[in-house]
Amino acid sequence: MYLENSSNILPNRSLLQFIVSPKFSVYRHVILISLFSAGLYAKNDVYMEPVNSLTKVVMLLSILSLFYLNMYRLVPALIFKEKYIQYFFWIVLVFGIITMLILFLKSYLKPYIRPKYQEEDQGSDLLGLTVYFIFMAASTAVKLFQRLISHTRRIVELETATMKAELGQLKNQINPHFLFNMLNNVNVLTRKDPEKASQIIMKLSTLLRYQLYDSAREQVLLTAEVKFLEDFLNLEKIRRDNFEIIISKDGELEGVQLAPLLFIIFAENAVKHNEDAENKSYVHLHFIMKDKQLTFQCVNSKPGKSESDNHIGGLGLANIKRRLELLYPGKHKLVIQDLDDQFNVNLIIEL
């Protein structure tokens, strides 16, 4: 039902693809130029030839120039960034230039006017300016509509991905193997070291509470995410003697908010694939916050003989990549390096 309600806000799929998809861009421009050309061709022949044809060509080029200038430069640079005063200034400036050009051309081309248009009312100047205004308004409306459709599609895709992620999260929230090991350790420690057993239970409780409830919000504190990863790795360290954990933080992390559970997939895979019975294994996490840019690095050792050529892949990597694309489009960079002795993940997010 959630997805059905979301999809109702989208127009017909074919029309939507034609309006928004880049692959139809050429067709849209051809149709636009054809309509402008047809409108000017139907216009009365006020001037003698060849001046009349040249005038129409100049008008067509000027209209298209204004249309595309407004659509691809002024609207994205000013309207999309809520710089309305600057946009109004540019529009007034453009119309001032157009008005002066029209007056200049009319005076210059006056000798070439056909006899029956010699007494033409000067109100045609106002009509010409009105036509230019309509084209400017139309280009603004088209760009805003395209942006609305693009954002609507992204919201629907994000809702779909979120619901799938929530379903997958419910299935994998409590890793049975991980939970079984923790409970086994607690069972042993209740007799040997009851205080330590109590600490493990509290950490496990905090971990599960965050994963089940706190991370359900759209935005969480970065410090809470770091604490969640610390609890997860510290619980893993309990059952592994030769296991090193380093979590470093650089910059001001307090108060920073972001989407939840963006890093746990990398930590889980680091733990899952680096266990080595013979040598020391490690997982190093680094969080760097600078100029509203968050850098996350996950570095882990690899055992001498890797059981899998693809350290992190399948649905886990595909899902996190898709989530990043939907949550931070054009504002993130993910680089994964599979080296001989270690595995590196580097994620940069513009917040």
Domains of the chain, start order: 2-163 (no CATH), 173-350 (3.30.565.10)
When mean pLDDT is compared over 90-94, 165-169, 303-307, the highest value belongs to 90-94
Higher per-residue confidence, 3 vs 207 = 207
Mean pLDDT of the chain: 77
Quick: pLDDT tens for 112-165: 776 666 655 444 556 666 767 777 787 788 788 778 877 777 777 777 777 666
pLDDT for 268-310, tens place per residue? 888 887 877 677 889 999 999 998 899 999 999 988 655 444 4
3-state secondary structure the chain: CHHHHHHCCCCCHHHHHHHHCHHHHHHHHHHHHHHHHHHHHCCCCCECCCHHHHHHHHHHHHHHHHHHHHHHHHHHHHHCCCCHHHHHHHHHHHHHHHHHHHHHHHHHCHHHECHHHCCCCCHHHHHHHHHHHHHHHHHHHHHHHHHHHHHHHHHHHHHHHHHHHHHHHHHHCCCHHHHHHHHHHHHHHHHHCHHHHHHHHHHHHHHHHHHHCHHHCCCEEHHHHHHHHHHHHHHHHHCCCCEEEEEEEECCCCCCEECCCCCHHHHHHHHHHCCCCCCCEEEEEEEEEECCEEEEEEEEECCCCCCCCCCCCHHHHHHHHHHHHHHCCCCEEEEEEECCCEEEEEEEEEC
Identify which of 69-73, 255-259, 271-275, 284-288 has the greatest average pLDDT: 284-288
Mode of pairing for the β-strands spanning 281-290 and 243-250:
parallel
Residue 261 has pLDDT above 60, yes or no: yes
pLDDT in tens, 13-59: 666 667 667 777 788 778 877 877 777 676 666 667 777 778 778 77
- Kindly report the pTM of this predicted structure: 0.53
